Amino acid sequence: MPQTDIADKEFENIDYSNKDLSKFIFTNCIFNSCNFTQTNISYTSFDDCTFNFCIFSAPTVNLTRFKNVIFNETKLMGFPFQNCKEFLFELQFKNCQLDYAIFCEKKMRGTIFTDCNLKEVDFSKADLTSAVFNNCDMQDAIFDDTIIEKVDFRTAKNFTIDPQHNKIKNAKFSFYGLEGLLRKYKIEVAY
């Protein structure tokens, strides 16, 4: 299937469920209230695109490129970001449902997560240098051999991070976040 280039378009209320969108190149496009349930987006490029109120459920992802992409109010539960193309991987999330998403080994320097649910998200071996987690719920998120240097966790909650198994230099935490750093030691932190 040859590549299809689509630029400067706005898509509204389109159900792409079970469709094959592989090998498309979307540039400067906006997707509003679109459904990508079990959609094949392998080898597809999304450059400078925005997704508003969309649903990604069990998409097929293989070397998909997300360059300068913004997700607003979008459900990406269990999204396999680890299968995305590494080159120019740049995302931003606002008010998104990212529970069970997988970011293993991704370079996500400076990524901003705002008001997101990140339950059981896997950040193992990811590079999150200078990322920001604004008002995010990170219950049971996995940090293992993760680079979290200069990451801002000051308004994040429910995270557990083992400083011995992650690179944590210059990360920012609030007083209330200390419990998430000390949990393995079974230390009680009084507020």
The domain in which residue 64 lies consists of: 1-97
In a domain, 17, yes or no: yes
Whether residue 33 is found in the same domain as residue 90: yes
Whether residue 89 is found in the same domain as residue 136: no
Domain end, chosen from 97, 131, 147, is at 97
| Helix, strand, or coil (residue 165) | helix
In a domain, 104, yes or no: no
Query: What pLDDT shows up at residue 177?
Result: 66
CATH code at 175? 2.160.20.80
Low-confidence ranges of the chain (pLDDT < 50): 1
Q: Which amino acid is at 120?
A: E
In a domain, 81, yes or no: yes
Overall domain count for the chain: 2
CA distances from 188 to 154, 166, 184, 191 (A): 19, 22, 11, 10
Determine contact, residues 31/6, Cβ cutoff 8 Å: no
Query: What pLDDT shows up at residue 148?
Result: 97
Query: What pLDDT shows up at residue 54?
Result: 98
Domain end, chosen from 97, 125, 146, is at 97
Query: What pLDDT shows up at residue 182?
Result: 58
Whether residue 14 is found in the same domain as residue 91: yes
In a domain, 6, yes or no: yes
Query: What pLDDT shows up at residue 176?
Result: 75
